[in-house]
Amino acid sequence: MPSLDARLRALGGRIWLDATIPVIYYPRGTLRGLARQYFRYGSGRARTSHKHGERLRLRQMLPPAITLAIGVGLIGGIVLPVLLVIPLLYALALLAASSVFALKDRSLTALMAAPALATMHIAWGAGFLKRRALQIGKRRADDRYRD
């Protein structure tokens, strides 16, 4: 059975967030814990979009695209060093964003947003890409079995 939000959207409904609903969030104590959480989020999103045949929105496509781009930059940079500019630009963008946070909040601890954001983006992207690869592999195996 499709999830409630998928059924509501299929009927033309919309999902709204309500800021008055209290939500408790327990921040992860380590980047490893944060990575595990976001890897699972990305994997779950791939599963849900595949199950319901949903197209991803731009904001949902960015983490897998960033993860692929950084991978291409780091691995391809061994052969073609100019590709290292990809992860460098990403790191600079995160540093710039966390610097803005630090200036706005007048707190140097806001600079820790850079490693947290990188962890969330790359882990979400990796979880999504891994699940998608498994789905494609299963579909191909199923197609070979039917032939």
The pLDDT value given to residue 2: 60
The pLDDT value given to residue 11: 86
Note the pTM of the prediction, 2 decimals.
0.80
The pLDDT value given to residue 103: 95
The pLDDT value given to residue 142: 64
In terms of C-beta density within 10 A (0-12 exposed, 13-18 middle, 19 or more buried), how is residue 145 classed? exposed
What's the Cα-to-Cα distance from 132 to each of 51, 71, 94, 138, 146, rounded to whole Å?
11, 17, 26, 10, 21
The pLDDT value given to residue 145: 63
Residue stretches of the chain with pLDDT short of 70? 1-2, 140-147
